[in-house]
Amino acid sequence: PKTDIVFLKVHKSASSTVMNILFRFGEMHNLTFAFPLGGGFQLNYPHHFLARFVQGFSPQSPRRFNILCHHMRFLQPEVQKVVPSSAVYFSILRNPVQLMESSFVYYKGASAFSRVRSLEQFLSQPYRYYNPASGDRHYARNLMTFDFGFNPDGEVSPGRVQLMLKAIEASFDFLLISEYFDESMVLLKEMLCWDLDSVISFPLNSRDSSTKSPLPDSVVEKLKAWNRLDWEIYTHFNRTFWERIDRDIGRERMRREVQALRERQAELARPCLQGTGSVVPKDIKDSSLRPLQHGAARILGYNLKEGLDQELERTCRRLVTPELQYSSLLYKKQFSPQPP
């Protein structure tokens, strides 16, 4: 199994669920994480990543970490200072239309969104509300482009788009697609030589459907145009994703693998979870399993069954522990005060 990993955690793209998979794998195999300084949750985001933002990194004695997966704005020369040269690089993409709808609800307090009632209103005159010079502009335009380290307000010429796609292909071994999450997990398992249980997950940081609303076609087209760079990234890597499946696995085997993954997930959900799955925040009984609530979104969580034996309880709890709590737990473990 590969144990040196860089995961670029792209906002609002099922990346918290992927992070949970990496946390569990790292914990189980006693791997080291490149944590943000002081146990924070972002590597000086939204500034470009620098190695000195990592707890325990020092240029004099460069220590290599196994897994780098906290929010960052990608800058490969700096990333290479903290992970081994053999590291596998991957990230995850989401359809920019749904991504922006999610971003609008989650980052409602961002300067571009705070004065509008709806996404339609924002898109009717975006430059009335959007300021390219504001420090939080990236939440409102080409968020994936920004996270990959590029300029979200860059011009969209064919040449420039090609350069950006080539740069991403040169840096990353693989890009997952959140709309095809299960297929992505099968490909990830193959690429990292992991077993099935290592890529099982329950969706984390997902939003209650009561705050989701379907978008009219006219808005969808405006969203694509406004997030044109993201759209170019997504359509290109969505295509190469399926080419990779056809080349490496084949549709028939993929169908069987996805079925096995879902069956194993259901098999774990039965003994682990109360009820039929995720619940709204007020119904989460154990406060340590309550995810951070942000913006106008209602982020769902889980209740574990009571009376589980110790080993099963541990497995189940890790599957449903929200990102911030899990990160803090692992940080304390990795940097526990040394006994005198």
In the chain, what is the greatest distance between 2 CA atoms, to the nearest angstrom? 66
Dihedrals phi, psi of 92, to nearest 5 degrees: -135, 140
Angle at 239 between CA 90 and CA 174, to 5 degrees: 10
Q: What is the pLDDT of residue 89?
A: 98
Architecture label for domain 5-335: 3-Layer(aba) Sandwich (3.40)
How far apart (Å, rounded) are the C-alpha atoms in residues 119 and 229? 19
DSSP state of 5: E
- Across 211-265, the runs of DSSP E, i.e. the strands, are none
How far apart (Å, rounded) are the C-alpha atoms in residues 175 and 316? 28
Residue 295 pLDDT exceeds 80: no
Residues 6+ away with beta carbon under 8 Å from 2: 88, 191, 192, 193, 194
Residues 6+ away with beta carbon under 8 Å from 137: 111, 112, 130, 131, 152, 153
Q: Strand 67-68's sheet: what is its strand order?
A: 67-68, 5-8, 88-93, 174-177
Q: What is the mean pLDDT of the chain?
A: 94
Question: Tens of pLDDT along 119-136?
Answer: 999 999 999 999 999 999
Q: What is the pLDDT of residue 338?
A: 66
How far apart (Å, rounded) are the C-alpha atoms in residues 99 and 76? 24
Domain boundaries, the chain: 5-335
How far apart (Å, rounded) are the C-alpha atoms in residues 139 and 195? 35
Decide if 222 contacts 104 (C-beta within 8 A).
no
Angle at 282 between CA 277 and CA 283, to 5 degrees: 40
How sure is the predictor about 205, in pLDDT bands with cuts at 50, 70 and 90? Answer: confident
Question: Tens of pLDDT along 25-71?
Answer: 999 999 999 999 999 999 999 999 999 999 999 998 778 999 999 99
* C-alpha separations of 278 from 101, 291, 300 in Å: 21, 12, 6
Burial of 325 (C-beta count, 10 Å sphere; 0-12/13-18/19+): middle
| Residue 121 DSSP SS3 | helix
Q: Which residue has 């969808």 as its token pair?
A: 220
Residue 178 pLDDT exceeds 70: yes
DSSP state of 215: P
Looking at 67-71, 145-149, 295-299, which range is the least confident one? 295-299
How sure is the predictor about 339, in pLDDT bands with cuts at 50, 70 and 90? Answer: low
How sure is the predictor about 214, in pLDDT bands with cuts at 50, 70 and 90? Answer: confident
DSSP character string of 288-339: GGPPPP-TT--B-B--BPSS--HHHHHHHHHHH--HHHHHHHHHHHHTPPPP
DSSP character string of 15-34: HHHHHHHHHHHHHHTT--B-
Mean pLDDT within 136-155: 97
How sure is the predictor about 90, in pLDDT bands with cuts at 50, 70 and 90? Answer: very high
The closest of 251, 255, 233 to 242, measured between CA atoms, is 251
pTM for this entry: 0.95
- What is the chain's alpha carbon radius of gyration, rounded to the nearest angstrom? 20
Beta pairing, strands 88-93 & 5-8: parallel
Q: What is the pLDDT of residue 135?
A: 95
Q: What is the pLDDT of residue 31?
A: 98
The long-range contacts involving 181-184, CB below 8 angstroms and separated by at least 24 positions, are: 181/14, 181/17, 182/258, 182/261, 182/262, 183/241, 183/245, 183/254, 183/258, 184/92, 184/241
How far apart (Å, rounded) are the C-alpha atoms in residues 223 and 153? 14
Residue 189 pLDDT exceeds 90: yes
How sure is the predictor about 277, in pLDDT bands with cuts at 50, 70 and 90? Answer: confident
pLDDT > 70: what percent of the chain?
99
Q: What is the pLDDT of residue 211?
A: 67
Q: What is the pLDDT of residue 340?
A: 60
Mean pLDDT within 170-178: 97
